[in-house]
A and B are shown apart, each in its own frame.
Chain A
Amino acid sequence: MDNNFKSLTLKNIKKEFPGVLALDDVSLEAKAGSVHALMGENGAGKSTLIKILAGAYNKDQGRILFDDKEVNIDNPNDSLNLGIKVVYQEIALIPEFTVGENIFLEKFPVNSLGIVNWKKLYNDCNNLLKKIGFNLNVREKVANLSISEQQIVEIARAIFQNASVVVMDEPTSSLTPNEIEKLFEVIENLKKNNIAIIYITHKIDEIFKIANEVTVLRDGKLISHRDIKDTSEEILIQDMVGRKVEQKFDRPVKSFDKVLMNINNISTKSKLKDISFNLYKGEILGFFGLMGAGRTELAKAIYGYDNISNGSIDIDGQTLKKFNTQTMVKNGVGYVTEDRKGEGIIKDMNLRENMSLPSLEIFEKLFTINKNKEKKISNEYIDKFEVKTPSSERLITLLSGGNQQKILLSRWLIRNLKIIILDEPTRGVDIGAKTEILRLINDLAKDGLSVILMTSEMNDLLTLSDRIIVMAGGKISKEFDRNEATQEEIFKASVI
């Protein structure tokens, strides 16, 4: 490891895309042995900045200084040679390789004949993991590891490659509280090893635990750069959003009388055991569960994506035993996935086509899609949800995560919907968009839509849900009414 490294500085970076000024005069300094948090709403320019650091994009203007010496980053190789390593949100490991093989992928220890010295590889690997303070069986296949462990492997890979700067993009978005603690320990160890860390997150509480300084971007501009001592949650939110965020929702306790859907004793082969509950019209039914509790599995089973092995669903008076996603969509059910990139967006399609996909029949006239009507309606939703895009004809991959999420929600709202299943609707979404999405959910329920809300954000769960069902080990462990649920009680029920 390069122990002389002091800092990496970005100075007055500018980057323009057709129609969007993604970065406007942004500067940032990452100091060795310190964590620099980078915050901002979706589309603020964080990803663009990271991609410039990683060599995926070229800057239009500005300078990059490595220990006060100006450097060029024209391609990913330049970036790697400088020791800049980006750990992306999506894990990029080879599942069928062992931990050791993945970490040493770029540089297997070989003898002069090119034969791999496995013993050395696994020994070095053990030492490396020890250095960052983590215990892991180096001969275990990555496919068998939890997400957090995989993330650690990614980080280990980064420092094996002589990292001076490690960039982490939303590293905790799919981790449990316990796993987050472990990750923070690893970060502390990285600091001790004289590595500079740029830490991107939407979770404000994390910043106060590990960051030394924090920079906020908004609409491609540098809004503030503060020492962590000189800031507070309120200041950061205001910097990010540019206005005060109203966190309270008007959702009084009330009783519902019309049952819309009965879930009767649903089981699946893989996970779910005997799950039953009712959903009322206009109700927000929250689901909480730790990783592996079976929330996503339940969502997918109800929606007909995964087969059920037992049980039935009553919806609007009819009983369904065998059903698929088509049946559910026809019955007025919609689903927004937790895995936006893998199961949500269709990357070869533009915003309009992504939005209208489940509802093409409403735009149909004599077998032909009426594109003008389609454009008109998609533009209405783009305006309504303030999606940041020059037009509905833009490819969805060019949008930030939060904006993509708004499009995926609109996908269902343009049709006549009775029930919407939302799986982690605010994951990886910045605080401004998050509040908008939560308010939207509240408004939809007021208009009579029934919402099944699966979330690990305790705050969202408590402020929005009329009832809360807690899951553990593929079963329902407890049910709470709105006025009786507390954070502690819910958590207790989830670890049974």
Chain B
Amino acid sequence: MSKFFQKNETILFLILLLLLVFLSFYNPQFYSIQNINSILRSSSTVMIVAFGMTILLTSGEVDLSVGALLSFVTVIVMDVINISGSLFLGFFSVFIFCFLIGLINGLVRTVLNVNSLIGTLAMMLILQGSVYIYSMAAIYNTHLIPAFTFIGQGFVYNVPMPVIIMLVILPIFVFLLNYTRYGRYFTAIGSNPFSSNLSGINNNRYKLIGFIITSLLVGIAGIILASLMDTGQQGSAKGFELIVIAAVLLGGTSFKGGSGTILGTILGILILKVIDNGIILMSIPQEFQLVVPGVILILAVYFDTLRKEKNG
């Protein structure tokens, strides 16, 4: 029983429960289908990218360029479909682009040996600048293909489509991290890269894969976002990378690598998003939407350190 309460996920779950109870007492509107769907829908793009970020942080790396890439993806997907009228070509070009960015991020880290905090920060600047070279103006949906709009705005049995996409991707990552050797490899690489290399694991290969997976997930999230906004917009995902990283860290993944769970990440995102929603429902000034997660993040990492000290 004591072990049960020491688990990070348990604590996060209790916090989430507490928040839900509190908010439903405060404002019964909280439990309306519309409100819950809006929380889940806005969580799902964060979650999709956070799955990749969990892998990266577990292996001791980080990708700060996901927000800038996300904005870029909305522009590309909208533009290509507008011009070609083909969803396939739109998606194809997004994934090619994301694959290349992930590859470059990974190669900068593994071949040039640039710390990923710096390397992907640089990539963020490059993407933020070059998206304006690509197009100065926002790109509106002129193709009006219904299937495209459905991706972000549609429902299946009252469940928003983005949530369904997220739920399809989720089990793949739970399986990958918990049941396959690759999950162990990412943990080993993050915990002790020397030891994992001496155990015959090619650290760089898996780091490269981690960066590429994360970028590809950004591609999926970007397509959803473009559909949701019905626009390809240059600055549409400002601060996105910070929310993702904050949620993953809140979920118990260590910034120094070596430990991370998908369940924790999901709970971390839900907590942040429910707080977001609560701030709106309680008519607190919206600026607090950034302040509160900041404070929570510091507390979360602090408690995590405390627990580790006690155990270690």
- Chain B, 259-279, CB within 8 A of any chain A CB: 259
CB closest chain-A residue, reference B197: A325
Residue with the highest number of chain A CB atoms closer than 10 Å, among B187, B191, B200:
B200
Q: Assess A347 versus B200: contact at CB under 8 Å? Given A353-B184, A369-B179.
A: no
Is A345 in contact with chain B by the CB < 8 A criterion?
Answer: yes
Q: Assess A329 versus B199: contact at CB under 8 Å? Given A343-B192, A347-B192.
A: yes
Report Cα–Cα, A349/B183, bound state, in Å.
12
Interface stretch of the complex, out of A235-243, A265-273, A357-365: A357-365
Is B35 in contact with chain A by the CB < 8 A criterion?
Answer: no
CB closest chain-B residue, reference A336: B198
Is A201 in contact with chain B by the CB < 8 A criterion?
Answer: no
**Are A303 and B191 interface neighbours, CB within 8 A?**
no
Contact with B along A383-417 (1 / 0, CB 8 A): 00000000000010100000000000001000000
Q: Assess A325 versus B179: contact at CB under 8 Å? Given A369-B184, A397-B312.
A: no
CB contact between B259 and one of A328, A345, A348 (< 8 Å): that residue: A348
CB contact between A305 and one of B188, B191, B198 (< 8 Å): that residue: B198
Quote the shortest CB–CB distance from B305 to chain A (angstroms). Answer: 14
CB contact between A346 and one of B181, B192, B200, B312 (< 8 Å): that residue: B192
Quote the shortest CB–CB distance from B166 to chain A (angstroms). Answer: 22
Report Cα–Cα, A343/B194, bound state, in Å.
5
CB closest chain-B residue, reference A340: B195
Contact with A along B184-207 (1 / 0, CB 8 A): 100110111011111111100000
**Are A360 and B181 interface neighbours, CB within 8 A?**
yes
CB closest chain-A residue, reference B257: A348
Is B251 in contact with chain A by the CB < 8 A criterion?
Answer: no
Is A58 in contact with chain B by the CB < 8 A criterion?
Answer: no
Query: Number of A residues whose C-beta is below 8 Å from B?
Result: 31
**Are A360 and B184 interface neighbours, CB within 8 A?**
yes
CB closest chain-A residue, reference B181: A360
- A325: chain B residues at CB < 8 Å are 197-202
Quote the shortest CB–CB distance from A346 to chain B (angstroms). Answer: 5
Query: Number of B residues whose C-beta is below 8 Å from A?
Result: 22
**Are B184 and A348 interface neighbours, CB within 8 A?**
no
**Are A357 and B199 interface neighbours, CB within 8 A?**
yes
**Are B195 and A343 interface neighbours, CB within 8 A?**
yes
- B195: chain A residues at CB < 8 Å are 337, 343-346
- Chain B, 148-196, CB within 8 A of any chain A CB: 179-181, 184, 187-188, 190-192, 194-196
**Are A335 and B198 interface neighbours, CB within 8 A?**
yes
Residue with the highest number of chain B CB atoms closer than 10 Å, among A346, A368, A411:
A346
Report Cα–Cα, A305/B202, bound state, in Å.
11
Report Cα–Cα, A342/B196, bound state, in Å.
11
**Are A324 and B184 interface neighbours, CB within 8 A?**
no
Report Cα–Cα, A357/B194, bound state, in Å.
13
**Are B181 and A324 interface neighbours, CB within 8 A?**
no
Is B102 in contact with chain A by the CB < 8 A criterion?
Answer: no
- A356: chain B residues at CB < 8 Å are 184
CB contact between B181 and one of A330, A361, A395 (< 8 Å): that residue: A361
Is B258 in contact with chain A by the CB < 8 A criterion?
Answer: yes
- B202: chain A residues at CB < 8 Å are 324-326
**Are A346 and B197 interface neighbours, CB within 8 A?**
no
Q: Assess A368 versus B180: contact at CB under 8 Å? Given A330-B200, A358-B200.
A: yes
- A328: chain B residues at CB < 8 Å are 200
**Are B192 and A337 interface neighbours, CB within 8 A?**
no
Report Cα–Cα, A303/B194, bound state, in Å.
13
Quote the shortest CB–CB distance from B249 to chain A (angstroms). Answer: 16
- B258: chain A residues at CB < 8 Å are 346-348
Quote the shortest CB–CB distance from A69 to chain B (angstroms). Answer: 31
Quote the shortest CB–CB distance from B119 to chain A (angstroms). Answer: 23
Report Cα–Cα, A346/B200, bound state, in Å.
14
Report Cα–Cα, A303/B197, bound state, in Å.
11
Report Cα–Cα, A127/B132, bound state, in Å.
65
- A369: chain B residues at CB < 8 Å are 179-181, 184
- A337: chain B residues at CB < 8 Å are 195, 198
- B312: chain A residues at CB < 8 Å are 395, 397
Quote the shortest CB–CB distance from B144 to chain A (angstroms). Answer: 42
CB closest chain-A residue, reference B312: A397
- B179: chain A residues at CB < 8 Å are 367-369
CB closest chain-B residue, reference A353: B184
CB contact between A329 and one of B180, B188, B200, B259 (< 8 Å): that residue: B200
- A342: chain B residues at CB < 8 Å are 192, 194
Contact with B along A411-447 (1 / 0, CB 8 A): 1000000000000000000000000000000000000
CB contact between A357 and one of B180, B196, B259 (< 8 Å): that residue: B196
Quote the shortest CB–CB distance from B307 to chain A (angstroms). Answer: 13
Contact with B along A201-241 (1 / 0, CB 8 A): 00000000000000000000000000000000000000000
Report Cα–Cα, A344/B181, bound state, in Å.
19
- Chain B, 192-250, CB within 8 A of any chain A CB: 192, 194-202
Q: Assess A303 versus B198: contact at CB under 8 Å? Given A348-B258, A360-B181, A364-B181.
A: yes
CB closest chain-B residue, reference A327: B200
Quote the shortest CB–CB distance from B201 to chain A (angstroms). Answer: 7
**Are A305 and B197 interface neighbours, CB within 8 A?**
yes
- Chain B, 24-48, CB within 8 A of any chain A CB: none
Contact with B along A237-253 (1 / 0, CB 8 A): 00000000000000000
Report Cα–Cα, A343/B201, bound state, in Å.
13
Contact with B along A289-330 (1 / 0, CB 8 A): 000000000000001010000000000000000001110111
Quote the shortest CB–CB distance from A409 to chain B (angstroms). Answer: 13
CB closest chain-A residue, reference B203: A325
**Are B192 and A345 interface neighbours, CB within 8 A?**
yes
- A353: chain B residues at CB < 8 Å are 184
User: Knowing that A326-B201, A411-B199 are A-B contacts, what are 9 other residue pairs whose CB atoms are under 8 Å apart, sorted by A's residue number?
Assistant: A305-B197, A324-B202, A325-B197, A326-B200, A343-B194, A346-B188, A348-B191, A353-B184, A369-B179
The 5 listed contacts between A and B (C-beta, < 8 Å) are: A357-B201, A367-B180, A369-B179, A369-B180, A395-B312
Would you list the 7 A-B pairs with minimal beta carbon distance, nearest first?
A329-B200, A360-B181, A348-B258, A358-B199, A343-B194, A348-B191, A357-B199
